[in-house]
Amino acid sequence: MTVEVLDLLREGLPESSAPKRRIVVVGAGMAGLTAGLLLRDAGHEVTILEGQNRLGGRILTHRGFAGDMYGEFGAMRFPEQHPLVQHLIKERFKLATAPFPMYDEDTFVYLQGKGVRRRDFSADQFNFDLLSDEARKTPHELLRHTVQPLVDIMEHEEPDKAWHRILNDYDRYTLLGYLKERGLSDGALAMLGPLFNLEGRYHFSLVEWFSHYYEDVFGDLVYIVDGADSLPRAFEVELMDHIRLGAQVHAVDQGERDVQVHYRTGRQTHVITADECIVTVPFAGLRHMEIGGLDPDKWYAIRNTYYGRAHKLFMQFSERWWESGYGITHGLTVTDLAIRNVVYPPAGQDTRFRKGVMIASYCWEQDSMPYTPLAGDECVAQALEDLAKIHPEAKDTFEFGVYKDWALDWFACGIGPLFRAFEMSENFYEDVIRPVNRVWFANDACDRRHRRWVEGALKAAVKNAYAVNEGMRDEMPWKD
C-alpha cells in the first residue's frame, strides 16, 4: 500500500472510523512537530516531549553574531525538488526564501599547497597520477563516465522499476568499492575525493550517494531569509501548548492496552500514559533508553543505524573581503587541508555593515574527526591558519569563531544517518521503519530516498501519523 504524502500534509489526515487516541510524540524536531500537528488536527490528544529547551532538532540557527547576522549549524538550504518541506516553507507558513547556489567559478580549489580558481582548474596543474584515459576527461566527465551504468538504468526504465533495479543490483557496493571496480586509479580517487566531497562518503552506500548525485539535490536550493529556525518556530502558535520542553524521555513501557512514557525534568521523574507513542529522536540515542516489547530484529536495526559525524565552524570578519576582493558571493572552496570545505553563505549576512560571516570549515565523517579532540579556541585557531593559506585577508580581519560538532550533541548523536552497503535493499531497512506494537518510529533514518534531509523526516512523520490515525497495525504505508 502507498499513500500520497504530499496530499496528506497539505490537506490533513482523512476522517477515520478508528477511535481517537492519546498519543505521545518523543522529540520536537521536524518529524515530531509534523506528526504532532497532523494528529492534533485530526482530533487526537497529542503531547510532545522534547528534551531540549528549543524546537527543531538538527535545525539550529546561531544568532550570536553582529547585527542581524546568523549562521546555520544545521540545515541551511532546502532543495526545490523536495515537495514536503517546500510546501511547509512556502504554502503552509509562507516563509520568505532566496536562492542558495552552491557553485561559483570564482571560488577556489586548494590542493597540494596550491590554489586556483574553479574556472581555471585542470588536473595537469597538480600531481595526480592519472591513467591516460582519465587525464583526457574533466573531473565531471570522469565521474559521470564511471557511474554511467546507473545513469542508464534511471534514464531508460520507468522510474519506480529503475529505482528498485538500482537497489537490487548495486546495494552491495560502497561508493569506494564501486569506483575501484570500475577501474578508477588511486590518482583519480585522490582528485575526485576533495573536488566532489567524496572522501567522507567513500565507505558508505553507493546507492544512497548516487540517488543524491542523480537527482542533483544541490543544484537548486533555497534558504529561509529569516533563518532556518523560522520553520520549526512556525509550529509554535499551534503546538506550543502541547509541547513539554526540558522533558528527557528515558523509558517506554508497553502493555496490552496502553503505553507509559517515563521522562525527567530537572530531578523530577514523570510518567504519561497514552494509547500510542511515536519516537522521532535519533536511533543512536535510543540505546540509552529503555523501550519495552521490542523484538531482537528491531533492536538490531536500532543498534546498527549508523549516524555520521560532521561539524561547522563559523567565523565573523570585520569585512566581507570574499565579496570585495574576490567577487565571491556564494558557493564553496574545496581543499585537502584540515578545514576541507569553506562555504560562503548568502544566508545570514547583514548588508547594513561591512562585517560578514562565513563557514571556515565544514567537514564530514573522517574529515571531522581531527577537530573533535581540540578545545573550542584551539580548533578556531587551527582553522584560521588553514583559511589564511587560501585567503590571507582572514588573519587581519578575523573577529571570532564559533564551532558546532554534531557528534558531541547528546540529542542529535551526529549529523544524521548514513546507509552502508546492503542496508537499503534487505530486511534491515524494513526493520528500521516498522512499528512494534504501540511504539512507532519516525525520523530522518526512516526514509530511503531522503535520509538526513528534512524531507525524509517529514515523509516518515506523515506516514506514521496516517497509520496511527487509521488504526493500522499490519498493513503499513511504508514502501518508497
List, for residues 111-129, the tens digit of each pLDDT value: 999 999 999 999 999 999 9
Q: Are 434 and 476 in contact (CB under 8 A)?
A: yes
* CA 191 distance to own-chain centroid: 25
SS3 396: helix
User: Which parts of 101-178 are beta strand (E)?
Assistant: 108-111, 114-117
> Does residue 480 or residue 429 have the better pLDDT?
429
State the sign of the Cα–Cα–Cα–Cα dihedral 457, 459, 461, 467. negative
pLDDT of residue 1 exceeding 60: no
What are φ and ψ of residue 294, in 5° steps? Answer: -80, 140
pLDDT digits 0-9 by tens, 220-273? 999 999 999 999 999 999 999 999 999 999 999 999 999 999 999 999 999 999
Structure confidence at residue 375 (pLDDT): 82
Quote the pTM value: 0.95
Structural domain boundaries of the chain? 5-55+235-307+417-470, 61-102+220-228+310-408, 130-215
Counting Cβ atoms within 10 Å, is residue 266 exposed (0-12), middle (13-18) or buried (19+)? exposed
| Type of residue numbered 290 | E
As to burial, measured by CB atoms within 10 angstroms (0-12 exposed, 13-18 middle, 19+ buried), residue 28 is buried
Quickly state the pLDDT bin for 198 (edges 50, 70, 90).
very high
Q: Reduced to 3 states, what is the DSSP secondary structure of residue 97?
A: strand
* pLDDT score of 473: 74
Distance CA 142, CA 46 (A): 52
Using pLDDT thresholds of 50, 70 and 90, give the confidence band for residue 291: very high
Which CATH code is given to the segment(s) 5-55+235-307+417-470?
3.50.50.60
The H-or-E segment that residue 180 falls in is helix 175-181
| Residues 274 and 258 sit within 8 Å (Cβ to Cβ) | yes
Percent above pLDDT 70 for the chain: 98
Which CATH topology does 61-102+220-228+310-408 take?
Answer: Polyamine Oxidase; Chain A, domain 2 (3.90.660)
Cβ neighbours, 10 Å, residue 146: 19
Q: What CATH number does the domain located at 130-215 have?
A: 1.10.405.10
Cell 530516498 locates to 449
3-state secondary structure at position 290? strand
* E strand or H helix at 321: helix 321-324
- φ/ψ (deg, to 5) at 395: -65, -45
The 10s digit of each residue's pLDDT in 437-476 is 999 999 999 999 898 899 999 999 999 999 999 988 766 6
